[in-house]
């Protein structure tokens, strides 16, 4: 079947993605025996490039950040213990392993750090996680919007060398649920 239109010529100054896209459009329409004008081709190509030229933002990745310097003296975080966080985009992965340096009694909630963790790791709302502990009941970890990390135990008191360990994930940014 013959062509009843003139196949458009792709401008010679079009390079790389421009040329490849134009060639593909011309060939596809030619196979369908659909006429196409050069002005239409240029307009369609520009729209595709304008709509697809903005790359998706690369999410921030802090890498693993050691938060040991924020811990209180009554929590041991040594070579086999850790307190670190990593943020990728709006997702924070926190790793915690610590032990009580001394016995604590009271209402059962103890602040495990001396000052707030960096803002990059602070949730939009208080986040609670259950982690493994050195007692029959589990430990509760809370990361507050102010960046404070608290450790709780259902029993209330924490004995010397009692430990809590776990990994948990939460999001930052966005609306409060």
The verdict on 49 and 69 lying in the same domain is no
Q: What is the pLDDT of residues 5-26, one digit of tens each?
A: 566 666 777 667 767 777 777 7
Confidence of residue 93 (pLDDT cuts 50, 70, 90): very high
**CATH at residue 139:** 2.60.40.2460
Asked whether 110 and 101 are in contact (CB, 8 A), the reply is no
Residue 176 counted as domain residue? no
- C-alpha 66/C-alpha 77 separation (Å) is 11
Tokens (6 digits) for 130: 């259950």
pTM: 0.61
pLDDT at 133: 82
Confidence of residue 87 (pLDDT cuts 50, 70, 90): very high
Residue 72 counted as domain residue? yes
* Lookup result for tokens 């792709």: 10
Higher pLDDT, 30 or 53: 30
Confidence of residue 106 (pLDDT cuts 50, 70, 90): low
* H-helix segments, 14-151: 16-31, 38-52
Q: What percent of the chain has pLDDT over 90?
A: 8
Asked whether 106 and 155 are in contact (CB, 8 A), the reply is no
- C-alpha 85/C-alpha 92 separation (Å) is 7
Domain region containing 81: 65-171
Q: What is the pLDDT of residues 117-133, one digit of tens each?
A: 888 899 988 999 988 88
The verdict on 51 and 104 lying in the same domain is no
């Amino acid at each position: 079947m013959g062509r009843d239109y003139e196949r458009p010529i792709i401008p010679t100054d079009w390079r790389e993605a421009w040329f490849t896209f134009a060639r593909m459009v011309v060939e596809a329409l030619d196979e369908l025996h659909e006429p196409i004008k050069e002005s239409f081709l240029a307009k369609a190509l520009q729209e595709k490039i304008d709509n697809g030229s903005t790359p998706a933002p690369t999410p921030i990745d802090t890498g693993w950040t050691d938060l040991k310097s924020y811990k209180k003296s009554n929590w041991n975080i040594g070579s086999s213990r850790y307190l670190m966080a990593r943020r990728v985009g709006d997702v924070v992965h926190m790793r915690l392993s610590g032990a009580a340096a001394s016995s604590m009694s009271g209402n059962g909630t103890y602040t495990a750090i001396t000052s707030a963790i960096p803002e990059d790791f602070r949730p939009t709302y208080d986040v609670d996680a259950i982690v493994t502990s050195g007692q029959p009941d589990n430990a509760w970890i809370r990361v507050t919007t102010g960046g404070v990390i608290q450790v709780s135990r259902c029993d209330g008191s924490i004995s010397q060398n009692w430990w809590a360990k776990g990994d948990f994930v939460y999001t930052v940014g966005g609306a409060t649920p």
